[in-house]
Structure 1
């Protein structure tokens, strides 16, 4: 008897700590992102502590003007960015068509394409943050998430962290992102990473909350199935579970509209990834003039962050998607068992309501699947896609190293 009590106490303590970790991690991500967003003086989103939700509030005109001057000064430091982009055209005018000039042409073109993509993505992110219609859509989506999470937390108990390795992976990605920022020389590239990380952090917090809500549903159904005759309170909770899932599924469709354009940017920087990984591979295999310490210093300070941080962002999304799919399949299976094992002594109106809600759930599960789409509604970012993307990156990087070696100029790195 004492062993059962000790085991129950340990499980309660573990869940209590998981609940605290989940709450602290989500709050830290959200507040850090919110403070950085307000510090950038862009957009009109503000958190109202009295209403406990996001609102639209116009910025002070003088604050916007001062911030604009600071931003223009920062961008003026990147005047040599234009020279770098146009330098990709110079080798075309050269009369010497030797392999050395062709190699220079290739390297400058790849660098120019990476910088132009960075400039284009930064412009898109900044325009979205400045757009009033986008701000309103974002505020509505965030407030819906806050409302649903509060309901799930109140009805099905405190939410706890689901799948701790996801949080560890995010923290590792965050450290590599800081290393990525320090490795850049262009202000526009740093701004691109900061704005992209701002959007990405919000989506990470949403993913952690979404997984926690589905885990709470599964935990309740597990206890529901253990009861031979569920109480009236449990039956009411079951009905509310169906309705809360419908709200989560509908809200996810709105979030998907906001996320898809940002998700495409996670994969558009494959050119930059190829540049950094070709430098890493070439440095390890062909830079014989450097010793081991010099090779590690070169890779760590210039290429490790830019080479790993984007891949970990994609891996996080893929792991979340696969985990979410497993939990939804388990949720569907448990609801099917609940529907088939309804006791005969339950009220006829309750059984009719459950069958109706089960039918709606089945239709919604197939018509509006909760998935992490990328670039389009028909492309899902799972671990299979992540492995294909990793393989494509490494294959292109090896091809770039091979081309540079075959051009006769030898590997120089970047």
Structure 2
């Protein structure tokens, strides 16, 4: 691996947690150059919801390329784009009674967030945006200003957030404060010092922030406040959408209808760069060319994204995800019960679950121990205290059982290493967020 050390920037990070060179991948498995197999419970940080190299998408892409299909088209009309829009309307928008327009920004999640915020400000004629504690929305300056993580914000090299109002997320204050009541009080009190925002941006589950889950009631009340005070509601569904919670959109179970929705990561279905922003008609305010980007027209991604949508034409895939999520939670709760010395507690929802541990640094040790056993998992949270599981949604019972066995062994190794096989009081307590 000397070539990476010699040539690549030191900013690289995931490769430090998974120090090998991968060569091949299929489904929920990867193989490195030595032929060693790994269970992938990371899925490209949520980019590979349908697994590595799904056959239907792979062959659709191969056929398109062998027929000299247009690979790059800026925002010109192409057959690949038309087929994606037609199927997206039929499978996703119409069954949900959504009249949102589809905007193709640049190909990444942060492009989608930047676009959503610009559209919100133009629509309302106001500049302030509400974001939440522990939020993560991207790494470009506008998205980063909405992000809570201090280490990532410091990477900007400049002050951020003059146009951002930070509010406490659901469960941030435990039972000490109703965070929605607090938010509304600041809007209604002329002495709060808070100007009326244009929009509120929210993740229904804060993936990078620690698998913090917003309750249905909290989300419903948040939408109510937005409607009451003439603010737009932006849903950042970049990591938690495209079926991660079972439904295509993570907010469907709450029965809310955001004005603007950001999607990326798994929207292409194949790991190809792609992002979309869904805009309620009144938010489709850009003049032609007022917001654009060279790689808006990744037609290869349109091909695989269209094929991915077939999983949502029936309820079968959704039911599979719900079934696997239920089984995963049950197995995680057993691990939690068996290692009380790590002060573990469950986090997350759907196929985006994990276990928070104390002291926080032990989560990284558990992740490293799992890698040594042939499993890719990451950590999340303000202190990296959460062992985070984000497997492809096509995971089956065999893969789940094997993954949970490796996870249990990893917990056991770390607990024994630190003398925490039994419950111990010699750990630092961390504030728990809603789960």
Larger Rg: 1
TM-score, length basis structure 1: 0.24
Compare the two structures and name the one with the higher helix fraction: 1
Question: 1 or 2, which has the higher strand percentage?
Answer: 2
Q: TM-score, normalised by structure 2?
A: 0.23
